[in-house]
Amino acid sequence: MNRPLLRFSGALRALLLGLAGLLFSFAVLLKTPVEQLHDYYARHLRQLHTQLTRFQDLAYSADTTALRRQFATCRTEYKHLEFAVEYYYPHAAQRLNGANLPETEAGDPDEVIPPTGFQVLEEYVFAAAPDDRANRELVHQEIDNLLYQVRHLEQQAPMLAFTDAEVFDALRLNLYRLASKGISGFDSPAARASLPEAAVTLQATSQVLAMFNVPPTLLTQLARCQAAVTAPGVSFEQFDRPRFLVRCFNPALAGLQRAQHQLQVSYVAARRAVRPAAVSYFAADAFDPAYFAPTDAAAPTPSVLALGEALFREPLLSGRGGRSCSSCHVPGRAYTDGLRANRSLVAGAELARNTPTLLNAGLQTEQFADGRVHFLEDQVHAVVASKAEMGGHLSEAPALLRKKPLYQKLFAQAFAAEAQPVSESNIRRAVAAYVRSLVRLNSRFDQYMRGDTAVLNAQEVRGFNLFMGKAQCGTCHYMPLFNGSVPPLYDKTESEVLGVPGAADLQHPALDADQGKFLLYGIAQQQHAFKTPTVRNVALTAPYMHNGAYQTLEQVLDFYNRGGGQGLGLAVPTQTLPADPLNLSAAEQQAVIAFLKALTDTPTTVY
């Protein structure tokens, strides 16, 4: 054969291969951001599947160090996917990375849904005796549960339809998740890998945003965040969270908002607890109380709020009881009463539980200590109708109120479009609207998070770091509401079993007899469960706990420091609070208390 011809054929083949590679490169470059994101999502999902399968192969043979290293590898892959899985497949996210606690539906109290996912697996991998054969069996089994969810996600992946607006929304929500749950240790309780995992979340956020050609300044800001959580020598307990949030996290969120505006990416139209267009969930107007209201809630107009406040103070609602809402929820006491338990209208008795504050009561999905109603409107009805609390009849109240010219005028102004404005329904709606307006999110802590870093002293800053770190308070009292409403959607309010004693007697402690949420549905693990209240304005709301057992914050901190009821030696088999002592020094406890006092609000109302 002619050698020049061979050389020509080879050159042609090389040229064609080069052109094919170039065309492939152009094809990649021409992919839309959403198409690139699909590739990213599918790749990390495959890698998660691969690493979990390898983990299962190692379950019986690898030493503890290798097992824990592989666990971290799998978690890294999940953290690359978390923003999308949580957003589009929340049920799968719960099964992959939910809290290690059983669940039960109210309609079927005898059927316990066991926890599953990474947090369950973490307990096995980081157990005191991880090499025990039975423990290795549990590791193998739990990886099976994780693989089941991953296969489900892989089946759904071809149908997943990303949009620009949803991607920016999902990333923002995931950053909120990082700040509230990530750096508090919520989803890495045993491995204590919160900071390395935060770094992966920030890296993933940058990688996704780079596909959308965001301004380089945003990627620089996210890189600063990543550098802060990976700084040499910084441990989980040493990490300076307020500095990170103010200097790195908030500027990155602001940069994300600017990039969205510059790229003309719209905000999702969903109504949520945190407004989708808010620059940060620390912003004064970030939370939308209307999200927590029923569809027929009265609009918070000045006339409705004026009527609601008047009714809040009106003894006529209790009929002959002579008691108003403000009898127990005293505005000057942060809408509490300062009592262990107020007196009952039933002669010779006290009310069963301590009076909670109404400040920010509208920013939660459950009302009462046992969470027995969802809306403030229903709570108004329940309290008025309670023989112990107000002893009234809302059905009779309109006739009594019509006899007062002031109320004829107030109702007419508030509900001008209605033929019969003085009604049972409008009483509930007006009082609920007033209580829902009692939003207070302007404490010195909030001012600090909005950039005024001079308002907190060194002890208070240290207290916040302890609250979100060593003291583990932030894993139940979620920032920034500091109640049990679960971020970043705040669509669920959690209850906990703490093992609270009946009185502050350390010599002879006895478990409080109140069965809490168990009384509603008879669910075994809810014995002595109570809604996690807000600790905002806690300096004004003594005494504390559902039964008012503790008079001071020092007593409360001591209770938690000892490990709750189990730490006091009480039999509390359903306790959700870790029973291990926190080992907080006296100075550390005082620092946490100093921070809690910094959560006291100014009178400013944000609505």
pLDDT digits (tens, 9 = 90+) for 373-395: 999 999 999 999 999 999 999 99
Which secondary-structure segment (H or E) carries 374?
none
pLDDT of 24 > 50? The answer is no
Instruction: Quote the pLDDT of residue 435.
Output: 98
Q: How many CB atoms lie within 10 A of CB 559?
A: 25
Q: Is 443 strand, coil or helix? A: strand
Joined together, the tokens standing for residue 571 give 């039999």
pLDDT of 127 > 50? The answer is yes
CA 450 to chain CA centroid, Å, is 20
Residue range 367-377: average pLDDT?
Answer: 96
Instruction: Quote the pLDDT of residue 30.
Output: 81
Q: Could you say which DSSP state residue 268 is in?
A: P
Distance, in Å, from the CA atom of 378 to the CA atom of 373, rounded to the nearest integer, reads 6
pLDDT of 80 > 90? The answer is yes
Alpha helices in 126-270 (DSSP H): 133-156, 164-177, 194-211, 216-229, 241-244, 250-262
Residue 178 one-letter amino acid:
L
Which stretches does DSSP call E strand in 80-161? none
The DSSP annotation for 303-370 comes to HHHHHHHHHHT-GGGGGGG---HHHHSBGGGTTB-SSSSPBPSSTT-B-SSPPPP-TTTTSSS-BSTT
Instruction: Quote the pLDDT of residue 23.
Output: 47
pLDDT of 25 > 60? The answer is no
Instruction: Quote the pLDDT of residue 129.
Output: 73
The answer to whether 203 touches 195, Cβ cutoff 8 Å, is no
φ/ψ region of 213 (left if φ > 0, alpha if ψ in -120 to 50, else beta) reads left
> Distance of CA 460 to CAs 383, 444, 447, 474, Å?
37, 10, 13, 15
Instruction: Quote the pLDDT of residue 19.
Output: 55
pLDDT of 134 > 80? The answer is yes
Total-model pTM: 0.92
Cis peptide before 509 (omega within 30 of 0): no
> Distance of CA 60 to CAs 66, 86, 132, Å?
11, 31, 10
pLDDT digits (tens, 9 = 90+) for 492-515: 999 999 999 999 998 899 999 999
Residue 96 one-letter amino acid:
L
pLDDT digits (tens, 9 = 90+) for 3-19: 544 444 555 555 555 55
| Confidence band for 557, pLDDT divided at 50, 70 and 90 | very high
pLDDT of 126 > 80? The answer is yes
Q: CA gyration radius for the chain? A: 28
Distance, in Å, from the CA atom of 244 to the CA atom of 175, rounded to the nearest integer, reads 13
pLDDT of 602 > 70? The answer is no
Residue range 347-372: average pLDDT?
Answer: 95
Instruction: Quote the pLDDT of residue 607.
Output: 35
Instruction: Say which range, 87-91, 130-134, 333-337, 470-474, has the weakest mean pLDDT.
Output: 130-134
Residue range 331-335: average pLDDT?
Answer: 93
Instruction: Quote the pLDDT of residue 104.
Output: 82
In the chain, % of residues over pLDDT 70: 94
Residue range 333-347: average pLDDT?
Answer: 94
Q: Is 152 strand, coil or helix? A: helix
Q: Following CA atoms 94, 95, 99, 103 in sequence, which dihedral angle do they give, to the nearest 10 degrees?
A: 100
Mean residue pLDDT of the chain comes to 93
Residue range 201-229: average pLDDT?
Answer: 97
Instruction: Quote the pLDDT of residue 102.
Output: 87
- Comparison of pLDDT for 122 and 603, the residue scoring more: 122
pLDDT digits (tens, 9 = 90+) for 163-188: 999 999 999 999 999 999 999 999 99
